[in-house]
Structure 1
Amino acid sequence: MLQTQFLAVDPVLVAAFAAVLVLTALLADYARMLWMRRRLPPGPFPWPIVGNHFQTPATRPWITWEKWAQYYRTPMLTIWIGRHPRIILCDAWVASDLLEKRSDIFSSRPRLIVMGDAINTTTTNQTVLPYGDRWRVHRKLMHAAVGSQAIRNYRSFQADESKLLIRDLMVDPNDFELSIERYSVSTTSIVGWGRRINSKNDYVAQQALKMMEAVNFVVPGVFLMEAIPAMLQLPAWLYSLPHTLHMGSAIIARYFYMLTEESLGTRCGQEAFGKYMLDEQKKMEEKKEKNKNGQGLSDLEVAGLMGNLIGGGVDTTSSTMLSCILAMACFPDVQRKAQQEMDAVVGRDRSPTWADLDENRLPYLTALVKEVLRWRTVTVLAGIPHANTQPVEYQGYHFQANTNFTGNMWAIHRHPRDFPQPDDFRPERFLDGHADQRPYPNARGSNPFGWGRRQCSGQPLAEQGLRYSLGRMIWAFDILPGLDDQGQNVKLDIFAYTESENTRPEAFKARFVPRSDTIRQLVLEEAAEAREALRIYDGDTKLSVDDAAPNPCLV
């Protein structure tokens, strides 16, 4: 009788005991957070479990972080995403000290839940791979496509595509955003698959743009799952987002791998980066078979590298060009200075050439491109966060290994010490010896492509194309605000930008007025010649995402 009573368990007591255990664990964990916080840069006070998730705006948090950094008077701001700190770098000099001068330690990636685990890229995609041998393999492969030596081979078709773009802006100015997207995707598609994009609404171009929407997954405060990683394991019927993200990313990855295979059937595809990637995959698989300790290259890794190539080529180039158009329409004095340089060096009887750029005959244009990249940096959070591979002491603070360091380019490129009157568009900031030039921790004078060993791989390709295409645009047109229904200039807003991490101007109206009849005729003649030269790349694709959908899982 006594034994039976002893074995009887009061469920209320069990529940109470479990609650006490959970509460104790939560308090212990919160105590750990507060103890860590004592040795971290200042920031808003975190709550248990969720940290500062509900204090961080879901849209344009970089603006709030800039204000917080000013409020706390700190170049480094600490916010908590869930139970883990995130260090927001708001100062170029501090970022350089850590991410460039100590790049041997600060070149890894933190664990990313949505950008990594949820879309199966943590161990397969160059952008989020931890620093190490596998990342070096990916970097080396990508360098073959967009390294400083490789890109010189692309000048011919980059120039031809630019000539077609200028013609499109002249004959169909109302569609200038789509024309720019077509141009930027087309040049990168030729690099990747030997196939150009002829239509503004090309299917491959639209898939590339959709793929780049994934960059928003890295913005802190958007997904509660980033603060509470356990949500990733919830069943789909209870929380469908992880399942949806995983399936969607697998289908897109399979699509880009199949597109790479398909490109081998075209003449130019045999000379493109995709052919190189598939050959390297075969070599690495053969090496893996011979050496059981070796590593191959999975289909998912190939797809990731190909997708990164075209996705990065779309956003950086097209968004920067749109920002330049907005700036030219809003700062006519700058446009006139650039055109005066063009008239003095190039004239109006010929168009700009690579020689004009290589021999630095157009220094104001070069400074103008740098200012566009500074004025409205596309990757407003500097791309993917960095992480340190070992504990670090810096300025009296202690950072545990694998701490998340996020660059706030909105704050860094608008810091009044480095860039007085930051919202003014002034290329003079980048002219050697000019009074507007200020000291900066690198020779370039800004950081639009990131820091250290994790700088954007496509920087050389992007800069080469931007200088040529923007130079040709400024040479050809007076870029003016669009007209409203009454025929008056519309009022343009230099702060009307999208909420995406890869930011670009919201839709606006602009006019492209040829600067002379001679230029108008030259634009048409050179575009006709360029179109003939580009026919070699006119291979088409028969693939759609639906072709990849039946088998979305890559190994």
Structure 2
Amino acid sequence: MFDRHPLAVVLLVLTVFILGYQRLRNRVPRGTRLPPGPKGLPIVGNVFDMPKENAWLTYANWSVTFGDIVYVEVFGSPLVILNSVKATTELFEKRSANYADRPPMVMVNELMGWEWNLGHMRYSDWWRRHRKMFHHFFQPRSLSNYHEVQLEATSALLHQLLDKPNDFYHHVLQHAAAAILRVIYGYDVKTTHDFYVSLVNEAAKDLTHAVTGLFLVEFLPILKHIPAWFPGASFKRRANLGVISAGKMRDMPFESLKRSIADGTAVSCFVSESLEALKDKENVPENEETVVKNCAGVAYLAGSDTTASVVASFMLAMAHYPDVQSRAQAELKAVVGLSKLPNFTDRPMLPYIDSILSETLRWNPAAPLAVPHRSVEDDVYEGMYIPAGSVIIGNSWAILHDENAYPEPFAFKPERFLGDNEKQLPPDPAIVGAFGFGRRICPGRHFAMDAAWIAIASILTCFKISKAVDENGNVIEPAIEYTDGLAIHPKPFKLQITPRSQEIVDVIRSADESKK
């Protein structure tokens, strides 16, 4: 075998050397200990313990045995999983300078070309430049600038649900992408199967598989140098396909808008305003246009995927919890009435709708595992040694299903976030895990939450959501099952979506006509 593949000999020798170096590097200082975890094997460590799917569930189960911080090694590379608010707060918040970095993410960044993604970048000045630009446009005080666009996207969603309720999931995907495409690129989604909506969905699918795949190349980066034809190098072939979708998603809408700017047909949006500002700025930093393009691509991706997951989960929950739906609709009737659609100005008077959004974020978080962090220097937490260079994963799912903080964690109970009976409110999911942690928390979370909130309030105003029935009148139970990945979505399910009255049908129709 080695005669036929001399590259294998070189890789084997280098791998043994790397493993020996990592073993020396991970020696535990006197007076400390590594965090507990499943016992691994010599050399390969815990490679056979690593979950192949739904990793957050395995990590949560480990916490029952080993505690809220779990340690594993794969080929000498340390991996630390944090399963509690206490641990993530201490490390990601209070010690953020040491834990704001990202690991190399070889498969995603180097092989699939996602190194431009703000969420994946190493903690550096290059990352800070992106974060600063992103924050400028999506900070809380800027959100009202985008409300009109979000209302228009929601109006289109309602019209589609009215006309083709069985295609609700496609409508939800389109709604999520429509608002962010208009805000970022000034692009109006015009068709049900829009090209740019399909583009971002394809890229998100490729990315999610790469991030959650636990490819061996992450632990033995030297494997990135083997050719795609080499036996066992299927990860290289997958990466070669993924790099195409990543590049298209970032470049195509950006270049299209630049052509519109050149011919004078572009509308005001994040990209056009940012590029225009560069013309008037003295001493423009090098590659600033690239920063604009990268930030636009990140917003396009994250704004579409997260919002769609949240709205789809909400609809699944409503089918299973009709009492929650009834209470929400009673609140909407009292505040909004039956002859108009809700607006953002109604939000302060709709606390139960807010609690439904919070519970949706908690019940099945769109990102059950945060994007991995990396420890820059050696650290000690409660007597446990965390080596420099460790990959640190915040298990958002475990945190948001902690029965001490959220009794009956698998039940959908929005009232837990209301101040009834002067009880202490549980941790806000938007802060403790649903959007990441510390300095790397998602900077677009406020926009995503606004988009989800107005969709939830509007759907509840207009429709009754219930379980579908088959041709014999038998109820079809919608399974509470989710895809695997960085951002998860409910697996395909059926619903019955019916307008609550003829009056609300007329409201939906008139709202749609007013835009023409």
TM-score under structure 1 normalisation?
Answer: 0.83
Between the aligned partners of 1:421 and 1:343, the Cα distance in structure 2 is 29
Q: CA deviation at 1:486?
A: 1.3
Which residue matches 1:41?
A: 35
Which residue matches 1:233?
A: 225
Which residue matches 1:346?
A: 336
Contact 2:208–2:486 (8 Å) recurs in 1: yes
**Residue number among 188, 198, 201 corresponding to 2:180 in the alignment:** 188
Q: Secondary structure at the match of 2:140?
A: coil
Q: CA deviation at 1:83?
A: 2.3
Q: CA deviation at 1:209?
A: 0.8
Between the aligned partners of 1:184 and 1:259, the Cα distance in structure 2 is 21
Q: CA deviation at 1:48?
A: 4.7
Equivalent positions of 1:415-430 (< 5 A) are: 415-430=402-417
Q: Secondary structure at the match of 2:466?
A: strand
Contact 1:53–1:227 (8 Å) recurs in 2: no
Which residue matches 2:354?
A: 366
Q: CA deviation at 1:260?
A: 3.6
Which residue matches 1:255?
A: 252
Between the aligned partners of 2:158 and 2:475, the Cα distance in structure 1 is 22
Between the aligned partners of 1:24 and 1:498, the Cα distance in structure 2 is 36
**Residue number among 65, 68, 72 corresponding to 2:62 in the alignment:** 68
**Residue number among 144, 153, 156 corresponding to 2:148 in the alignment:** 156
Equivalent positions of 1:196-207 (< 5 A) are: 196-207=188-199
Which residue matches 2:159?
A: 167
Contact 1:429–1:437 (8 Å) recurs in 2: no
Q: CA deviation at 1:190?
A: 0.5
Contact 1:81–1:227 (8 Å) recurs in 2: yes
Between the aligned partners of 2:15 and 2:58, the Cα distance in structure 1 is 32
Which residue matches 1:472?
A: 458
Between the aligned partners of 1:443 and 1:245, the Cα distance in structure 2 is 31
Contact 1:50–1:228 (8 Å) recurs in 2: no
Between the aligned partners of 2:173 and 2:243, the Cα distance in structure 1 is 27
Larger Rg: 1
Contact 2:149–2:183 (8 Å) recurs in 1: no
Aligned-residue RMSD, C-alpha:
2.9
Which residue matches 1:119?
A: 112
Q: Secondary structure at the match of 2:464?
A: strand
Q: CA deviation at 1:271?
A: 1.3
Q: How many residues align?
A: 502
Residue 456 of structure 2 aligns to which amino acid in structure 1?
Answer: L
Which residue matches 1:516?
A: 501
Between the aligned partners of 2:386 and 2:456, the Cα distance in structure 1 is 42
Contact 1:49–1:227 (8 Å) recurs in 2: no
Q: 1:453 to 1:480 in 2, by over 3 A?
A: same
Between the aligned partners of 2:189 and 2:338, the Cα distance in structure 1 is 29
Question: Is it true that 1:32 corresponds to 2:24 in the alignment?
Answer: yes
Q: CA deviation at 1:280?
A: 5.7
Which residue matches 1:549?
A: none
The CA deviation string for residues 504-532 of structure 1, in whole angstroms up to 9 with x for no partner, is 11111111221122112112111221x32
The CA deviation string for residues 346-395 of structure 1, in whole angstroms up to 9 with x for no partner, is 221222122211xx10111111111001111001112x212233332211
Q: CA deviation at 1:445?
A: 6.6
Q: CA deviation at 1:435?
A: 6.9
Tell me the percent identity. 28
Residue 200 of structure 1 aligns to which amino acid in structure 2?
Answer: T
Q: CA deviation at 1:452?
A: 1.9
Which residue matches 1:327?
A: 317
Contact 2:172–2:308 (8 Å) recurs in 1: yes
Contact 2:23–2:76 (8 Å) recurs in 1: no
Question: Is it true that 1:405 corresponds to 2:392 in the alignment?
Answer: yes
Between the aligned partners of 2:15 and 2:467, the Cα distance in structure 1 is 60
Between the aligned partners of 1:181 and 1:415, the Cα distance in structure 2 is 30
Q: CA deviation at 1:82?
A: 3.3
Q: CA deviation at 1:327?
A: 0.3
Between the aligned partners of 1:141 and 1:185, the Cα distance in structure 2 is 21
The CA deviation string for residues 161-189 of structure 1, in whole angstroms up to 9 with x for no partner, is 21121121111101111111111111101
Which residue matches 2:4?
A: none
Which residue matches 1:98?
A: 91
Between the aligned partners of 2:112 and 2:394, the Cα distance in structure 1 is 23
Q: Secondary structure at the match of 1:320?
A: helix
Which residue matches 1:7?
A: none
Q: CA deviation at 1:329?
A: 0.5
Between the aligned partners of 2:501 and 2:188, the Cα distance in structure 1 is 30
Residue 67 of structure 1 aligns to which amino acid in structure 2?
Answer: N
Question: Is it true that 1:391 corresponds to 2:378 in the alignment?
Answer: yes
Residue 205 of structure 1 aligns to which amino acid in structure 2?
Answer: V
TM-score under structure 2 normalisation?
Answer: 0.89
Between the aligned partners of 1:130 and 1:434, the Cα distance in structure 2 is 45
Q: 1:23 to 1:252 in 2, by over 3 A?
A: closer
Q: CA deviation at 1:217?
A: 5.0
Contact 2:151–2:454 (8 Å) recurs in 1: yes
Contact 1:195–1:268 (8 Å) recurs in 2: no
Equivalent positions of 1:261-340 (< 5 A) are: 261-264=258-261, 269-279=266-276, 287=283, 295-297=286-288, 299=290, 301-340=291-330
Between the aligned partners of 2:11 and 2:47, the Cα distance in structure 1 is 24
Residue 363 of structure 2 aligns to which amino acid in structure 1?
Answer: W
Residue 416 of structure 1 aligns to which amino acid in structure 2?
Answer: E
Question: Is it true that 1:83 corresponds to 2:83 in the alignment?
Answer: no
Q: CA deviation at 1:75?
A: 0.3
Q: CA deviation at 1:26?
A: 7.2
Residue 298 of structure 2 aligns to which amino acid in structure 1?
Answer: N
Residue 297 of structure 2 aligns to which amino acid in structure 1?
Answer: G
Contact 1:115–1:217 (8 Å) recurs in 2: no
Between the aligned partners of 1:298 and 1:355, the Cα distance in structure 2 is 36
Which residue matches 2:7?
A: none
Contact 2:19–2:76 (8 Å) recurs in 1: no
